[in-house]
């Protein structure tokens, strides 16, 4: 069985955290900014698809060292490795930092624009090596998630079928309030109710006769 590793890097503010969350939502074990010295150990012990975020906040971060580590990991038998680089236009990154009032990790006491420029230079080798460069300048979050799922999702099942959407169906009573996790709510109070059939009333929805009703 081929295991999967996705290494996510790129520019601060370009959506690396959103990419990691999207990978986590489709079954990856997401680890953000582990020490570089632990990267190969984490990969060797992984029992499920793994996504690792690396950027200038990572302890001991060095683009050339990351390149060498990723190159070594790619040689691991039965392991598919993808390097993803998140990028956005300078003006977009500047606006995002301004809107959130965050400081840039490479320029905590200086201008945000200086930090953006320094990080782009520092991570340039990784962009060249990347299997996928995601420009998030004008990319809505929903579209970003769709692309991640399409590129790194589970693919075909063992029986050759394409895995579909998972639906969780829950019954509830309005006096108890709407389920907070519901995406869609259907009011079924206009339907015939087996509760008012004296024979079916003591039974539950697991009963075949109630289901047939």
Identify the CA nearest to 123 among candidates 205, 8, 19, 4. Answer: 8
Higher pLDDT, 61 or 22: 22
Cβ-contact 133, 127 below 8 angstroms: yes
Token representation of residue 197: 């059939």
Stated pTM of the model: 0.71
**pLDDT per residue over 78-120, tens digit each?**
889 999 999 999 999 999 988 888 888 877 778 888 888 989 9
**pLDDT per residue over 6-20, tens digit each?**
999 999 999 999 999
> Domains plus CATH for the chain?
3-152 (3.40.50.300), 167-213 (no CATH)
Checking DSSP bridges between strand 79-87 and strand 50-53, what pairing results, if any?
A: unpaired
Please give the C-alpha separations between residue 9 and each of 1, 24, 29, in angstroms, as whole numbers. Answer: 26, 16, 16
């Amino acid at each position: 069985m081929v295991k999967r590793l996705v290494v996510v890097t790129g520019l601060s503010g370009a959506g690396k955290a959103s990419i990691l969350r999207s990978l986590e939502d489709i079954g990856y074990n997401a680890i953000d900014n582990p020490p570089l010295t632990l990267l190969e150990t984490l990969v060797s012990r992984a029992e499920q698809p793994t996504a690792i975020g690396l950027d200038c906040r990572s302890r001991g971060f060095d683009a050339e060292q990351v390149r060498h580590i990723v190159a070594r990991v790619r040689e691991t038998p039965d392991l598919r490795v993808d390097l993803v680089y998140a990028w956005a236009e300078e003006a977009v990154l500047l606006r995002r930092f301004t809107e959130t009032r965050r400081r840039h990790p490479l320029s905590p006491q200086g201008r945000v624009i200086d930090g953006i420029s320094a990080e782009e230079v520092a991570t340039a080798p990784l962009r060249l090596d990347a299997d996928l460069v995601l420009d998030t300048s004008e990319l809505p979050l929903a579209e970003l998630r769709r692309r991640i799922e399409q590129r790194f999702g589970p693919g075909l099942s063992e029986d050759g079928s394409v895995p579909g959407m998972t639906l969780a169906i829950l019954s509830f009573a309005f006096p108890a309030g709407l389920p907070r996790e519901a995406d869609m709510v259907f009011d079924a109070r206009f339907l015939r109710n087996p509760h008012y059939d004296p024979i079916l009333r003591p039974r539950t929805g697991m009963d075949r006769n109630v289901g047939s009703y």
